[in-house]
Amino acid sequence: MKKAALSLVILFAFAGSSFGQVLVEEGATQKIIARKESKELYREAILLYEEGNLDKAILLLGKSLKLDPDNKKAGLLFIEALLKKKEETAKAKEEALKAQEEAKVKVEETKQEKKADTAEEFLKETLAKERVDTEEIKAEIGIVKEGPGLKEVEQEIEGKVAMEEELRKQQAEALALEEKKKKEEEAGKKEAAQPEIEAPKEEQDAYRLAMQLKERKMYGEAIAHFQNFLKEFVGSAYEEEVSLSIADCQFALKEYDQAKSSYQNFLSDFEKSKQLDYVQYLIGKSSEKAKDYNQAVLDYLELLNTYPQSKFVADAQLGMANSFREKKDYRQALIEYQKVVDLYPENKAAAQAIFSIADIYDHTFEVRDYKRAVLAYGKVVADYPDSLFVERARQRKRYLEENYL
């Protein structure tokens, strides 16, 4: 009887041990399955992210992290997608506000302001893209269980905000300097483009009045006066300059399609003009500003092929690179930016190009490479110490070296 009882106890103990082992193995199997599903969701999310479908990408990444909170790659991409979504939302709001402002500008032409198309504008836009609300981002990060890599992302966000505070102070002096240089360049261009022309006093007075309106940035009224001038003084010696000024005023009003049409008419009407390369460049710039990036690339190529000795070739090459970047063709953009640096190293466009290379490697998920970003930032600091980008490059270089390399 005792032997039978002992055997029964041993049997139960063995059965319990086996059952426990089964539970352990089953739990391990479930983890493996969860990790596999998490990886599959992550791969699907990458495709959606690259296509620009951020909402679905964020949803899949959230599911991926729920299955496997330790999926570091999914966690990093999740934060990247959240930041990009926030950036797009902010950009949409900004564009809506811009549209309202543009409507006001057309009503009150005397208060119109032309936004400078310079390296200063590019720098302001770059900083604006990186500006984030720390508390909101922290709240979004809190959705994900903190794992390897997420803390680094949060620290990077904090670093960006802190750096921007310092940059705002430094930027004021740089912007003032850039504005002064811009005015000097414009004054020189006007002096060169407007030689003394013999014409009746009435004709000269009408021309000067229209030009004064343009210089005061009263572009709508200037266009009306220029158009009346062409009707009243047919065959005037000022006809070429007046026709170009109409296009320039339309460009300043951000009426890019109309400006482009006027520039194209200028090419056909004044085939012997000495300003054809300048006009072709502005055709490309009009396409770029109108966000017709495929056409902008073709327009800039036309300038590079037709006027290879033009003083606008570096800016055209830079505009082509910017257009590829806006199209999200980052690899081609990197190639085109490098051409600016290699072909026109002494041109001020080269500083913006090498900074753009660094910025893409630094902030673009698809081609992110911190080592290359640091090298490019270092080149900005070493080769272009007087550029507007040098302080930003120096700070990003130091930050990446301290936190990622």
Q: Which of these three, 67, 92, 121, is where a domain ends?
A: 121
Band (pLDDT 50/70/90 cuts) for residue 392 is very high
In-domain check, residue 323: no
* pTM summary value: 0.61
In-domain check, residue 18: yes
**First and final CA of the chain: distance in angstroms?**
74
- Identify the CATH number of the domain in which residue 6 sits: 1.25.40
What distance in Å separates the CA atoms of residue 204 and residue 206, rounded to the nearest whole number? 6
8, 102: one domain: yes
What distance in Å separates the CA atoms of residue 18 and residue 294, rounded to the nearest whole number? 67
Number of domains into which the chain is organized? 2
In-domain check, residue 83: yes
Tokens of 299: 């327009």
Q: What pLDDT does 138 receive? A: 46
Is it the case that residue 132 has pLDDT exceeding 50?
no
Q: Which of these three, 252, 273, 294, is where a domain ends?
A: 273
Q: From the CB of residue 11, how many other CB atoms can be counted at a distance below 10 Å? A: 10
Q: From the CB of residue 56, how many other CB atoms can be counted at a distance below 10 Å? A: 15
**Which residue in 385, 378, 380, 382 sits closest to 401, CA to CA?**
378
In-domain check, residue 15: yes
In-domain check, residue 37: yes
In-domain check, residue 245: yes
Which of 21-30, 220-229, 267-276, 325-334 has the weakest average pLDDT?
21-30
Domain residue limits at 245 = 194-273
**Which residue in 291, 389, 370, 368 sits closest to 84, CA to CA?**
368
In-domain check, residue 168: no
What distance in Å separates the CA atoms of residue 352 and residue 333, rounded to the nearest whole number? 13
At 34-65, the pLDDT tens digits run 788 888 888 888 888 887 888 888 888 888 88
What distance in Å separates the CA atoms of residue 161 and residue 157, rounded to the nearest whole number? 6
